[in-house]
Every structure is written in C-alpha cells, then in structure tokens.
A and B are shown apart, each in its own frame.
Chain A
C-alpha cells in the first residue's frame, strides 16, 4: 500500500497550465509511481481543438478533440528533453477505453471520466459542451483520468491502455479483437438484473451502502453549492451599482467628491472579484464530482461481487437439487416434487433401463456441476480478494484526496475573505477622506 508520506506527484508536461490549474492537478492526482506506467512515461492532455466531420449517419458535426502528449521518462537523462509523442482523441474514445477497462477488470474501481454533460451548473456557467470553459475543465478531467489509470497497480499495465496513449490508429481494432464487446453486453445485462443474494460478503454489502450514501450526499452538496454560488454572484454584482451611484453623487459634491469617486472604484473592483472566486470554486466542484462518479464505480464492483456470489449460489443450488434427485431416484423416495415424477407416478413407473439412463445422466451432470461449483467458488474467492485489495487502495486514495480538497477549499475561502477585507479597507480609506 502506498505510504502517503512518500507520495510522488504526477509530472505534468503542459507548460500552458495556469498556476492554479497546475496546483489543482497536483492536488487532484496524488498518484503513486512505484510499479505504474508513470515511472516510464509522462502523460498529459495538453490541448483541445474543435473539429468538424461527418458522423456515422453522414451528417456534419462539430466535436472536440484532445491532444494526448507522452514522453518517456529516462532516469539517466533527466536534463535532456526527449521528443514528445502526441495524438488526438475525442471524448467518445475515452468512453470506449473506460468500458473496455470496466469489462476486463471487473474487480477494479475504475477511475471515472469527467461528466459527459455539464450538470449542477449555476446560471452563469454554461451548460454548452462547446463552451470554452467547459472544454477546458474537461481537458483537465481527462488528463486526470489518464494519470489515475496510469498509476493504478493493475490497470496501468494494460496493453490496450498503452496503445490508447501511443497508437493513433489501429487502437480500436486491437481492442475489439479482445472480444470484450460480448462480455460487455452480458455484463451490462447481468448488472441490471435484479437478483437476491443469500450470503453476500458483509464488507461488500457495507461498501455498496457506503457508495449509495456517498453518491447521494455529494449530489446534494453539488446542488446546494451551485445555488449558493448563484446567490453569492448576485451579492457581489449589486455592489457594482454603488460604484456608479457614488460616481454620479460625487459630481454634485465639492469636498466629498474625491473620496466618493475613488470609493466607487473599489466597489467596482469588489463586484468584479467574484468571477475569479467562483471560477476557483468550480475546480473544487470538479474534485467532488470525480468522487461522485467514483462512488458509482465502487458500487459497480460491489454489484459484480453480488453477481459472482449469486452465480456461485445458483450453481450450488443446482448441484444440491441434482444430488437430491439422484438420491430419490436411487432410493425410490420422492421428496421433491417434479413434473416428471408426477407423470411417472400417474402414468406408470419407468423401466429400469430408463431409470439407469437417467441416473447416469444425473451423475454426469453432478460431476459437471461440482466442477462448476469449484470454478465459481474459485472465481468468487479470486474476485473478492482482488476487489477488496483495490477497494482498500481506493479508500485510502479517497480519504487523502478529499482531505486535500477540503484544505484547498478552506484556503480558497481564506483568500476570498482576505480580498474582501482589503477592498473594504481601501473603500474605508476613501470614505475617511470625504
């Protein structure tokens, strides 16, 4: 398990990031180097661009592509700057990759993608996917996703993932060759089905419940925060009206005029300052959103456990019933009801040959059944083991990241308060000169 004391910070290759963005990325992606891909390469999503092209139904569409840059990290030549490899990917390709990972590593809490559509927006924020601010925040989210996968102890060594980062063309084909699509469909069907598990692992049941609660509380938090942001915007902006009226008022005053006029300028500055404040807060909201989606990934793993457990239970149940049938057939007692048994009772006993054939069939089925139970048992155990390891890893990561987020939120509030004090002190000085 990672020692949080020696956390390595993902190297970010893009120098175009603003300081607050870099900081945000650092805080977002407290990832481990260790055995992960990040030891060998730097990864970044450097840019976003608009493209137009024909889609599947031959219609013109505009979409955004993101530039993935990678650079091998050569420990020996830290000083030199080896060439950057880069390729363009669009959001839907990221989605494909993630689906592949979900299917291929069902025990892993797979990092989430940034939201498909802008949600929990407050009125000034655009819900338009083409909006430059949204695109920018998505770029950061996509980079975060790649860095998280690249630092995951299991996911980072996936070949398809590597190709995604390095092979512009041909990646999709290789991925489809793995045959994950078929698994994906059946998995989706199974996950959506309702079934009752008799003996789920208690830890997973608790985790699932935790995932539910986490999802619910973060949704609520994001909703209220958006409303509060709207209101705060209003408060600051109305102060701008003071700027205008003080200016008009100063025109009819003699000695008071100068003080009023300059105070008005400070009121304007105060009103304008809210834009930066709320933009920073948006980063915090994004950090919360990541864990909102992570909660879903966690629930998926727990659900998968239930599925494997259910399949095991079904296999056991099937085996038990088959064994019982054999016993009945062998001893002639009917303990369980079966249509065959009834009809044979009604229409006469079967011949000894028939019975013999039946018994033999049952024996093979029981043999197969036992094999299946053994397999499924192993599957279940395997799943529980590896899933729990990843869940524990996730828990530590979550505690660490969210604590960091809260600290940065507090720091943001402190900065906002300090700015407020400064502006009002400036205004007060002007008022004193009236």
Chain B
C-alpha cells in the first residue's frame, strides 16, 4: 500500500488534467489477463488515457505505474511524469484509422411462434481486437437482448453514461409494432446504440458487450459473474449517506440536464403540433383538389387547365404526406431518445453523489477519530479512489456526450430543414410544369380565334 500511495503522490499534478492513470479499480483475476488487457489499452485509443485503467496488483510485479501503451513508468524521477504528460493524448476525436471494431444492426425479420410474435435483427461485427476469438460475427438478437445488454452495462460500468435504447413499450393499437416504418425506426436506433457502445473506449471492452456480439445463444444468466470491480464496488455503495454539496462542476451538469430536458419536451410538443396541423391541412387539400376536377367535367376550354390544377394539388398532397410521415418516423423518435438518455445520465450523477457522500462521511469519521493515528485506513482510501475515478469517467463521458449531442442535433435539425426543402421542391416542380401548359394553350387560342 505504501507503493500505491507513492504513486498517488507522484501523479498529483496529473490530476489537474483530469486524468487518472493509476488508481486501482478492476482487479483482474490473472496475470496473463493483465497483459492481454494492458496490451489492448495501448495508446491506439486516444481516449483511453482519460479513463481509469486496469492496474496490475500482482505482487510479482513492481508496484509501478503502467502507461496506457503497456510500458512501465519510471517512477523514480519527476521528469518521467512530464514525459507522461507529453504522451497523454487529449484529443478525443476518433478518426477512422483508429477504429478496430465495426458493428451494424440490419435485416429485421419477423418470428412467429405459438407463444408470441417478435422481431429479430442481425448484428454483424467485424474486428481485429484480440478479445474476440474470430474476426467476424453474425448473430440474431431481439429487443429483449439489447435491453439485457444495456442493463448489464449500467450495472457493470456505473461510472459511465450508457447510450439510450429506443422506447421499450409501445401502446398496442396506437402503433403497429410490426409495420415497416416502426421496425425501421427501431432498427436505426438499435444500430446507433451499438455503434455508440462500440466507439466507447471503456464500454466497448466490456465482456457483456463481447458476449452480446459473439455468443451464438446469449445466456443471460451468465452476466452475474462478469461484474467489473468498479461495478462491484459501486454496487455496494449504500444510499444511506447524505451529500453535503454537489461540486460546482457536477451541479452545473445537473442544472443543464434539467433545462435541456425542458427544451426537448417543448420541441417535442411543437413538432407534434405541427404534424397535427399539417395533417388537418392535408385533409382539406385532399378535398380541395378534386373540386377542380369536378368543375373541369362540365367545362370545355377550361377543362385542361382545371384538371391541371387538380393534378398539381394531388402532387402537393402526396408531398405533404411524405413530410409528415418522415417527421413522425425520423424526428420525434430521436428527440425522445435524448430525453431517455438524460434520465439515465441524471441517475449516474446521483450515484456519483452517493459515492462521494460515503467517502466524505467516512473521512469525517476518521478526521474526528480519537486516536488520529495515520495511516488513513484503507477503506477510506478506497472510497477516495472510487470518487476520483467516478469523477474522471463521468467528466470524460460528459465531454463525449456533449460532442455527440452537438453532432446529433446538427444532423437532426438539418434533416428537418432538408425534409421541408424537399417538400417545397416537389410542390414547386408540379406548379412550374403547369404554368407553361396553361400559357401555351392561351397563345394557341389567340391564334385560332
């Protein structure tokens, strides 16, 4: 333990960069696995340096610091800490070259059995990672399986923000669970979910995730044994401790999430209202166009122009119908996903508060202890480690979430703009093609009369 403490002191300057490279979290079962894991968390993954990394606790090893790339840090001089600094990559944008795990969700199929009817999706994986036995996998999974995975991730990686799944329950009778549109919307959301997990430097190495991607039959009971050390430790944090004050940083996150949820709710309501108004307009339009048609039936010269107008309106009706469908299928679900995401994020924040509360309470108890004997008991130290790890993980995930959010909303809103533009372009084309027809006829008439 002294060695550990020595490391902690050395790394004090690093903490200001919100990196924690040393603190013990997950205790791997064997030395071999240590190596495998250490090798895998090498510097190829820029973000890995920002996260708490697994650390060897084997006594045969020097109680030394391991860099992300697996090389030991020379802890004997301060110079090495600055070199450590230099080697830490703070750029958290992933470029395609560094990606070594590709996942897609495709090919939904309906299964009918005597007990139930449900949809499965094909999950395809391509990877060069050594955690996987094969370079490629193709398995079939249903929504339940995705739900299982997410729960497992939440349990085993409680310090991380787990991406959201599309809504579980749909009102029977209101939505057709087997319609093409619903299934496609769900598929896209499930695909996004897996991709986000696959892109996450910590979550993507989770063993449950591995099993999900590779196991022929997902044995969902198997999960119990695969709880990570952090998962274990956080799991047993009791909620009995009261947090005095949430640190400003995390309080700001909480406040932001509350306001953000509000705004998402408002936008959802507005989008729904627009869809409703558009649908009602569409109804009128569907009645309006045909009146021109019936008028044309008792006109001679005006027959073609009136039919033309009727045809245009029919085109505009179809275009509008497509717009409202697209908004329903593509826009609203993404908004709702984010609202769910935020709920789970708030829970992570609360958990963090609990971990901090436990630490502070225990620390206080020690501080006011009668004997005032050093050293600080190891369980208080463990608490401190937990807090600092949690904070680091959360902050890193927060940055990543902010980035994703920005991209997601840029995409969502430009998509909305695009759909509206396409709608108007279709209408414009219809009317523009009509005008010359009407005008030509007019000129022809002028010549003949």
Question: Scoring B residues 412 to 434 as 1 if CB is less than 8 Å from chain A, else 0, what string do you get?
Answer: 01100110110011011001101
Is the pair B281, A231 in contact by a Cβ cutoff of 8 Å?
yes
Choose one: B281, B439, B449; the contact of A3 (CB below 8 Å).
B449
Indicate whether B287 reaches chain A with its CB closer than 8 angstroms.
Answer: yes
Assembly CA distance A259 to B409 (angstroms): 11
Assembly CA distance A189 to B435 (angstroms): 47
**A210-B298, A224-B287 given as contacts; is B413 within 8 A of A234 (CB)?**
no
Question: Scoring A residues 403 to 434 as 1 if CB is less than 8 Å from chain B, else 0, what string do you get?
Answer: 10011011101100110110011011001101
Tell which of A58-66, A236-244, A360-368 binds the partner: A236-244
Is the pair A235, B449 in contact by a Cβ cutoff of 8 Å?
no
**A417-B424, A417-B428 given as contacts; is B281 within 8 A of A235 (CB)?**
yes
Tell which of A21-29, A38-46, A247-255 binds the partner: A247-255
In the complex, the chain A residue whose C-beta lies closest to that of B263 is A249
Question: Scoring A residues 94 to 117 as 1 if CB is less than 8 Å from chain B, else 0, what string do you get?
Answer: 000000000000000000000000
Assembly CA distance A228 to B278 (angstroms): 10
Is the pair B427, A434 in contact by a Cβ cutoff of 8 Å?
no
**A228-B284, A232-B281, A241-B270 given as contacts; is B413 within 8 A of A263 (CB)?**
yes
Assembly CA distance A221 to B306 (angstroms): 12
Across-interface contacts of A1 in B (CB, < 8 A): 449
Kindly list the 6 A-B residue pairs having the minimum CB-CB distance in the complex, ordered from nearest: A428-B417, A231-B281, A417-B428, A228-B284, A431-B413, A420-B424
Assembly CA distance A268 to B143 (angstroms): 41
Across-interface contacts of B445 in A (CB, < 8 A): 4
Q: Number of A interface residues at 8 Å Cβ cutoff, please give it.
A: 53
Choose one: B266, B305, B414, B417; the contact of A403 (CB below 8 Å).
B305
Indicate whether B277 reaches chain A with its CB closer than 8 angstroms.
Answer: yes
Total number of residue pairs linking A and B with CB closer than 8 Å? 145
Is the pair A224, B291 in contact by a Cβ cutoff of 8 Å?
yes
Assembly CA distance A129 to B446 (angstroms): 40
Assembly CA distance A267 to B285 (angstroms): 24
- 5 extra interface residue pairs, beta carbon distance < 8 Å, beyond A263-B413, A432-B414: A227-B284, A238-B273, A249-B267, A407-B435, A417-B427
A207 vs chain B, min Cβ distance (A): 12
Across-interface contacts of B301 in A (CB, < 8 A): 399, 403
Assembly CA distance A401 to B34 (angstroms): 88
Indicate whether B182 reaches chain A with its CB closer than 8 angstroms.
Answer: no
Across-interface contacts of B302 in A (CB, < 8 A): 399, 402-403
Assembly CA distance A73 to B424 (angstroms): 47
**A255-B406, A434-B410 given as contacts; is B420 within 8 A of A406 (CB)?**
no
Across-interface contacts of B266 in A (CB, < 8 A): 241, 245, 248
Choose one: B267, B277, B295; the contact of A234 (CB below 8 Å).
B277
Majority-rule SS of A interface residues: helix
Restricting to B273-289, which residues have a CB under 8 Å from any CB of A?
Answer: 273-274, 277-278, 280-281, 283-285, 287-288
Is the pair B428, A418 in contact by a Cβ cutoff of 8 Å?
yes
Is the pair A245, B435 in contact by a Cβ cutoff of 8 Å?
no
Indicate whether B392 reaches chain A with its CB closer than 8 angstroms.
Answer: no
Across-interface contacts of A431 in B (CB, < 8 A): 410, 413-414, 417
Is the pair A4, B449 in contact by a Cβ cutoff of 8 Å?
yes
**A221-B291, A224-B287, A224-B288 given as contacts; is B449 within 8 A of A410 (CB)?**
no
Assembly CA distance A403 to B309 (angstroms): 11
In the complex, the chain B residue whose C-beta lies closest to that of A248 is B263
Across-interface contacts of B406 in A (CB, < 8 A): 255-256, 434
In the complex, the chain B residue whose C-beta lies closest to that of A255 is B406
Is the pair A406, B306 in contact by a Cβ cutoff of 8 Å?
yes
B279 vs chain A, min Cβ distance (A): 9
Query: 5 A-B contacts, Cβ less than 8 Å apart?
Result: A221-B292, A249-B263, A256-B409, A410-B438, A414-B431
A401 vs chain B, min Cβ distance (A): 10
Indicate whether B118 reaches chain A with its CB closer than 8 angstroms.
Answer: no
B421 vs chain A, min Cβ distance (A): 5
Is the pair B281, A234 in contact by a Cβ cutoff of 8 Å?
yes
Choose one: B285, B298, B428; the contact of A213 (CB below 8 Å).
B298
Indicate whether B294 reaches chain A with its CB closer than 8 angstroms.
Answer: yes
Indicate whether A386 reaches chain B with its CB closer than 8 angstroms.
Answer: no
A301 vs chain B, min Cβ distance (A): 18
Indicate whether B357 reaches chain A with its CB closer than 8 angstroms.
Answer: no
Indicate whether A187 reaches chain B with its CB closer than 8 angstroms.
Answer: no
In the complex, the chain B residue whose C-beta lies closest to that of A432 is B414
Indicate whether B312 reaches chain A with its CB closer than 8 angstroms.
Answer: yes
**A410-B431, A418-B428 given as contacts; is B260 within 8 A of A252 (CB)?**
yes
**A242-B270, A255-B406, A407-B438 given as contacts; is B431 within 8 A of A417 (CB)?**
yes
Indicate whether B256 reaches chain A with its CB closer than 8 angstroms.
Answer: yes
